Amino acid sequence: MKAMIFAAGIGSRLQPLTNQIPKALVEVGGKTMLEHSIRHLVCCGFTDIIINLHHFPDKIKQTLKQNNNFGAQISFSEEYEELLDTGGGLKKAGWFFAGGNFLAYNVDILTNMNLNAFIQHHEEKCALATLFVRERQSSRYLLFDDKNRLAGWENIKTGEKIITRNTDKYKRLAFSGVHAINPAIFDDLPDKEVFSVIEAYLHLSQQHDIIGYEDNQSYWFDIGNMEKLENARGFFK
């Protein structure tokens, strides 16, 4: 099965670490984030992986070469001229996903969620995309209706809110960095190069089923800033 790892980001909130290495090569528990991501995917059968590159791409390629790709078959989607954000990055790598459903995975998260159960749920629901979500503190939430369909987005700090489906009650859940996607999505992505995948999901949710997969049992960390990185490192100790 196929997957994409989003690894192009600069990781500005992890400076000065990311002044010398890409975010994907930041270590937690004696392993780089890239190794954690690939090994999690491979152990669940996602062995054909494409990785998008921008920040210190040669260091990522060198690490993979030295470690025999951690058991995966690796391709690259190069974004050397400009960062395309998650939606644009996904769109550029679309050529890789002819055929079946696939996963997209943010390199800056650590989780032991069951990826096989996740994509099985996605396929059973015949969704265009399924998003791994959790009940956790965040400033930004996805909003879901009573059928677990994406219905909007809210920033609780600024009060900004986008509603794409009207419903009596919305459930707030935080997106947690893993997506299961039907390749039919490439027929409907925005006609531009740089955009976030959440922006695309919100637009598509008006006419398609973008659903949430809630998992609060597995462990989950992100390394979005130095405080979060130290939290993750403390857990893995």
Question: Per the structure block, which two tokens stand in for 23?
Answer: 């975010």
What are the pLDDT tens digits along the chain (237 aa)?
999 999 999 999 999 999 999 999 999 999 999 999 999 999 999 999 999 999 999 999 999 999 999 999 999 999 999 999 999 999 999 999 988 999 999 999 999 999 999 999 999 999 999 999 999 999 999 999 999 999 999 999 999 999 999 988 999 999 999 999 999 999 999 999 999 999 999 999 999 999 999 999 999 999 999 999 999 999 998
Fold classified for 2-236? Spore Coat Polysaccharide Biosynthesis Protein SpsA; Chain A (3.90.550)
**Closest among 109, 126, 98, 141 to 7, alpha carbons compared:** 109
Phi, psi (deg, nearest 5) at residue 18: -85, 10
Q: How far apart are CA 54 and CA 68, in angstroms?
A: 21
